Amino acid sequence: MHELSIAQGILELVEEQVRRRSLSSVEEVEIDVGRLAGVETQALTIAIECVARNTVMENARIVRNDIEGEGLCGDCGRCFVIEELFAPCPDCGSCAVRVVKGKELRVKSILSNK
């Protein structure tokens, strides 16, 4: 399961930060998840809750920011919302579209009460 390995990656990152900042617990973990990142957001949230058991993240609130996909047309320069990768430009039909937003998958911040 794809989401589970991503969740594990997030947990490892959080644990590393906890060690580095010598925190005792984590209160909140904020993650950015782009709509084009190729993950099922609901499944990811469940997977995170799952891997967080018995870890420093156990009682942490998971705040998920879903980031809209955005493309930039290389031909006419139009910026537009894209629902899926490889969507052509709605204005000129060009396929030279660069994804400028929506592929994010990262831990944005870690909050601790210590």
If binding means CB under 5 A, how many residues of this protein chain bind Zn ion? Answer: 8
In terms of C-beta density within 10 A (0-12 exposed, 13-18 middle, 19 or more buried), how is residue 19 classed?
Answer: exposed
Residue of 14, 56, 73, 110 that binds Zn ion (CB under 5 A): 73
Q: How far is the CB of 75 from Zn ion (least distance, A)?
A: 5
Q: Is 92 one of the binding residues for Zn ion (CB under 5 A)?
A: yes
Q: How far is the CB of 68 from Zn ion (least distance, A)?
A: 19
Q: Which of 56, 20, 52, 34 is nearest to 108 (CA)?
A: 34
For Zn ion, the closer CB: 9 or 93: 93
9 phi and psi, to 5 degrees? -60, -40
Q: Is 6 one of the binding residues for Zn ion (CB under 5 A)?
A: no
Q: Which of 74, 72, 77 is nearest to 100 (CA)?
A: 72
Q: Is 89 one of the binding residues for Zn ion (CB under 5 A)?
A: yes
Span from 9-17, 59-67, 87-95, 100-108 in contact with Zn ion (CB under 5 A):
87-95
For Zn ion, the closer CB: 43 or 90: 90
Contact in structure between 44 and 9 (CB atoms under 8 Å): no
